[in-house]
């Protein structure tokens, strides 16, 4: 009975995604690597996950034994059914028909019991595999500290300057943002971008889309709302690795067929771009998309830090890069994404550090991740403005996204994502780095000027 031989759980009828199929034998063969990944990521549920991981070989062995026993019972049942068929029409008296029926009923009860055990084991094995994070690239730092890959437009010294605080500049010296009315109308960490502040946002979006298109990305405007099962499949669980709420859920009051459907506001276009690959078999690879959306994050300010101004807000515009590729190409494409991000930050004239991020900063889907942090003198520190990750087959298994290999077979594809433009934080960086307090002007980077009527200053 093949139904019980695949490690996936049948999804409810109203679900879009098929239950993912995991290579359990491969996970067990690399048990030490997965154990290492769980430990080094410092996950909130790490201890429980490690216990489940250690139980996996025994569960898998029990599962095989139960399936073998099921096969034996089914073979015996077929023999009995054949014997019973041959006795068709013969009365029970003076024949073995009665004993055959009784034995067949016993086998049916044994079958039900074994199937129940198999389903339970299948569920436990699947649950462990689904909760596992990706493996780790050998180059990922494991000491909890990022490693500097490169500096962009480096300075001789990095001196904090409170007079360059972007919120002060954009509200008191310029009329570019309104947090007061944003908070009044919606709540804390919501805002209005106004006048040249709004123009700057659209300039950054247009510039970044043009850059992405020049690098072979197809432009897409995906939805900003997704089913929770899609959000979860991308690795954005309702709570993140620090146990903070990060996804806004939408409550639905309808009573139709989808009354139980759960929706959420996306934290990044990565989620709905990944959805383009659901149940797809790709042929022309790599495929690169760039999506622009409004994005929503509920965790803003959860830890009581970085809450001032535009650095950590609940709603913002974001341009996102997403790629599907063959496994042998994903490491190279990660470098391509990182280099495109470096090119953008360099052209904007910003000072930044490119970081190979450590294990404890990687989300569950990431095999390797690079961040770019820009110098923000008003904040007195570097702040993250881009991130790019190689997720290998973590997302594709959950999305059932495959490609045709050289032998004509279907294999799980690799996915990668990266920030093309995190608009509010880049605005923050432009304001704090290019404000001239003597003239009360903000210099507009040259690459943005064509999108702002060729103005040089705000």
The pLDDT tens digits of the residues spanning 94-147 come to 456 667 666 767 778 888 899 999 999 999 999 999 999 999 999 999 999 999
Backbone phi, psi, residue 404, to 5°: -90, 120
Give me the mean pLDDT over the 237-259 stretch. 65
End-to-end CA distance of the chain: 70
Domains and CATH numbers, the chain: 2-131 (1.10.287.40), 147-451 (3.30.930.10)
Report d(CA 107, CA 113) in Å as an integer: 10
Beta bridge pairs of residue 239: 245
Binding-site members are 268, 297-299, 313-316, 320, 384-387, 417
Binding-site members for ATP are 297-299, 313-316, 384-387
Taking only the tens place, the pLDDT of each residue in 401-449 is 999 999 999 999 999 999 999 999 999 999 999 999 999 999 999 999 9
Q: 3-state DSSP call for residue 358?
A: coil
- Nearest one of 144, 27, 5 to 394, comparing CA atoms: 27
Overall pTM > 0.85? yes
Q: What share of the chain is helix, strand, coil (3-state, %, to 5)?
A: 40, 20, 40
Please tell me the predicted confidence (pLDDT) of residue 237.
Answer: 67
Question: In the chain, pLDDT over 90 holds for what percent of residues?
Answer: 78
Asked if residue 246 has a cis previous peptide bond (ω within 30° of 0), the answer is no
Binding-site members for L-serine are 268, 297, 320, 417
Of 75-79, 235-239, 277-281, give the lowest mean pLDDT range: 235-239
Report d(CA 141, CA 361) in Å as an integer: 10
Q: What is the DSSP string of 24-92?
A: HHHHHHTHHHHHHHHHHHT-TTHHHHHHHHHHHHHHHHHHHHHHHHHHHHHHHHHHHHHHHHHTTT--S
Taking only the tens place, the pLDDT of each residue in 1-19 is 233 334 555 555 468 898 9
**In angstroms, what CA-CA distances link 47 with 36, 38, 52, 219, 270?**
12, 9, 9, 42, 29
Q: What is the CA radius of gyration of the chain?
A: 28
């Amino acid at each position: 009975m093949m139904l019980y031989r695949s490690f996936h759980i049948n999804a409810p009828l109203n679900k879009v995604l098929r239950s993912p199929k995991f290579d359990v034998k491969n996970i067990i063969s690399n048990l030490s690597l997965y154990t290492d990944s769980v430990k080094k990521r410092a996950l909130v549920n790490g201890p429980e996950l490690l216990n489940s991981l250690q139980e996996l070989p025994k569960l898998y062995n029990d599962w095989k034994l139960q399936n073998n026993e099921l096969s034996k019972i089914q073979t015996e049942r077929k023999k009995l059914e054949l014997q019973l068929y041959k006795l068709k029409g013969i009365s029970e008296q003076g024949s073995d028909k009665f004993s055959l029926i009784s034995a067949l009923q016993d086998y049916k009860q044994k079958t039900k019991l074994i199937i129940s055990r198999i389903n339970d084991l299948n569920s436990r094995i699947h649950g462990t595999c689904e909760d596992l994070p990706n493996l780790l690239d050998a180059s990922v730092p494991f000491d909890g500290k990022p490693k500097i890959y490169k500096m962009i437009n480096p300075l001789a010294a990095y001196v904090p300057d409170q007079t360059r605080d972007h919120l002060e500049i954009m509200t008191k010296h310029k009329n570019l943002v309104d947090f007061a009315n944003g908070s009044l109308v919606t709540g804390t960490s919501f805002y209005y971008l106004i006048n040249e502040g709004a123009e700057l946002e659209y300039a950054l979006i247009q510039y970044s889309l043009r850059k992405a298109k020049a690098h072979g990305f197809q432009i897409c405007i995906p939805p900003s709302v997704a089913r929770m099962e899609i959000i979860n499949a991308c690795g954005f669980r309702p709570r993140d690795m620090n146990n903070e709420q990060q996804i806004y859920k939408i409550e639905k009051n309808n009573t139709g067929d989808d009354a139980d459907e759960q929706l959420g506001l996306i934290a990044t276009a990565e989620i709905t771009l990944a959805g383009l690959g659901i149940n797809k078999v790709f042929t022309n690879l790599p495929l690169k998309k760039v999506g622009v959306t409004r994005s929503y994050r509920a965790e803003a300010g959860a830890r009581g830090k970085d809450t001032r101004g535009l650095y950590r807000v609940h709603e913002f515009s974001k341009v996102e890069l997403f790629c599907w590729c063959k496994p042998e190409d994903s490491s190279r494409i990660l470098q391509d994404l990182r280099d495109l991000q470096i090119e953008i930050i360099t052209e904007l004239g910003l000072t930044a550090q490119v970081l190979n991020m450590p294990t404890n900063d990687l989300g569950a889907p990431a095999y390797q991740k690079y961040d770019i942090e820009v110098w923000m003198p008003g904040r007195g520190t570097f702040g993250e403005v881009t991130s790019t990750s190689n997720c290998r087959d973590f997302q594709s298994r959950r999305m059932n996204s495959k490609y045709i290999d050289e032998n004509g077979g279907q294999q799980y594809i690799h996915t990668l994502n990266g920030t093309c433009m995190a608009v509010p934080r880049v605005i923050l960086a432009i304001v704090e780095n290019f404000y001239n307090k003597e003239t009360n002007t903000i210099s507009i980077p040259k690459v943005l000027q064509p999108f702002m009527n060729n103005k040089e200053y705000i």
